[in-house]
Each structure stands twice: as structure tokens, then as C-alpha cells.
Amino acid sequence: MENLSLNNEEVLFNNGNSQTGKRNDYLEWEDYFMAVAILSAQRSKDPAKQVGACIVSEDKKIVGIGYNGMPNGCSDDELPWVKNQADELDNKFAYVCHAEMNAIMNKNTYDVKDCTIYTALFPCNECAKLIIQSGIRQIVYLSDENKNKKSILASKRMFNLAGISYRQFESKRSEIVINLRQPEAH
Ligand SMILES: O=c1[nH]c(=O)n([C@H]2C[C@H](O)[C@@H](COP(=O)(O)O)O2)cc1CO
Ligand SMILES: [Zn+2]
């Protein structure tokens, strides 16, 4: 309502629609969903890699969010976060739950059939199995940095066989700034 007091030219400049005053720099759906995944990754305690995932239904509702972390009830101060120990039991990989797994397990709907998962990293083969079995049909990923790893090749093999589509995220934006301070009073 505030903008209706501006003249038409100002309204057009600020909002792109001189008739209704609607803003035009609002977040696109895809940017919104990927940003939720990336924000969620900031909750991860993993010093080397923070991964987030966001599951979205066909009608564009967020139905699950997750990040990589230790299983519920397992203190993340007691399990290891390192990956360079000789004994497998002293490395994080034996324990950490991946972001995609957590997003699926945290779902707030009966199932995630026909949903899309937005994820910061291309899913590993273990998550690929979960994704396929859960009924998710589409993957939008930010980074393909592990693309030459066997685990990712196995994921793609399974996705191709199961008819699950995957594509890399693209956006006109390079960043979204979140201001946690109170806006200045006008
Ligand atoms: O798809 C994934 N999703 C996911 O949450 N992860 C997590 C597990 C580990 O905490 C971390 C990988 O650690 P690192 O980069 O040190 O190998 O990222 C790793 C992958 C690998 O593709
Ligand atoms: Zn995984």
C-alpha cells in the first residue's frame, strides 16, 4: 500500500507494474527452494561440508527439509567429525546422516510421492536409493563436484533406470542476502 503514494513512473521503476503496484524483484520459486536448502545446511556441524536439502510437492509446498548431521539422540559432541583416521569407526562417515536422508525422514506429509528434491550436492548412491524408494521424481542440485566419484555414477545409473530426472540448478541471482537486524525505521 505504501507504494501507491508514488507517481506512476516511480511505481514502474520500483515494482514493474504501474497498474497494481506489485513488486517484481520477489524470489522465484526455484531460488526460494534452493535457498531454503542452503540455509538449512548452515545448521550442519560438519567442518568440511555443509549440505542441505528441501523437498517440494507438485503444488509447490515445502514438505521436508534436512541437513547432514548425526542421528537423533547421538550427541554430535561424542561422535567424530573427522575423516582421516585409520580406523573407520573413528571417522564421520560411519555415523553421519546425509541431508537428503534427513529431508525425507523429516517429511511432514504422508509421503513424498512425485515431489522434487532441491539439494546442495548431487545425491550419493545411498541417498539415491532412498530418493527412488520414497517416490521423489525430480532432483535439482547445486553442485556436481563429486561427479567423477563411483557413488555419483551409481546414483545416475539408478536415476536413469528409475526414470528420475535430474538437472543442475540455474539462477539469475548469485546471492540472496538475509538481514537479521531490525529494518531501519522510516
Ligand atoms: O549427497 C551427500 N549429502 C550429504 O549430506 N553429504 C554429507 C556427508 C558428510 O557430512 C559430508 C561430506 O563430507 P566430505 O566432503 O568431508 O566427504 O556431506 C555428502 C553427500 C555426498 O554426495
Ligand atoms: Zn547421501
- Catalytic residue chosen out of the listed positions 2, 88, 100, 145: 100
Establish whether residue 116 lines the binding site of ligand 1, counting it when its CB lies within 6 angstroms of any ligand atom: no
Radius of gyration for the alpha carbons in the chain, expressed in angstroms and rounded:
20
pLDDT value of residue 16: 57
- Residue 128, pLDDT > 60, answer yes
Chain center to CA of 82: 24
pLDDT value of residue 6: 37
Q: How far is the CA of 21 from the centre of ligand 1 (A)?
A: 44
Phi, psi of 116 (to 5 degrees): -115, 140
Establish whether residue 129 lines the binding site of ligand 1, counting it when its CB lies within 6 angstroms of any ligand atom: no
Q: Is 124 annotated as a binding residue?
A: yes
Helix (H) / strand (E) element for 30: namely helix 29-41
pLDDT value of residue 13: 44
Q: Is 97 annotated as a binding residue?
A: no
Residue nearest to atom 20 of ligand 1 (CA): 124
The model's pLDDT over 33-53, given as tens digits with 9 standing for 90+, comes to 999 999 999 999 999 999 999
Active site residue 184: no
ipTM here: 0.96
Establish whether residue 98 lines the binding site of ligand 1, counting it when its CB lies within 6 angstroms of any ligand atom: yes
Residues near 64 by beta carbon (within 8 Å), at least 6 away in sequence: 53, 54, 55, 103, 104, 105, 106, 107, 108, 109, 112
Share of the chain above pLDDT 90, in %: 87
Interatomic CA distance for residues 171 and 66, integer angstroms: 22
Q: Domain 28-168 carries which CATH code?
A: 3.40.140.10
Residue that is written with C-alpha cell 553442485 in the block: 143
What's the predicted TM-score (pTM) here?
0.90
- Residue 126, pLDDT > 50, answer yes
Q: How far is the CA of 49 from the centre of ligand 1 (A)?
A: 6
* β-bridge mates for residue 117, sequence order: 55, 139
- Residue 175, pLDDT > 60, answer yes
- Of 155, 163, 150, 158, whose CA–CA distance to 122 is shortest? 155
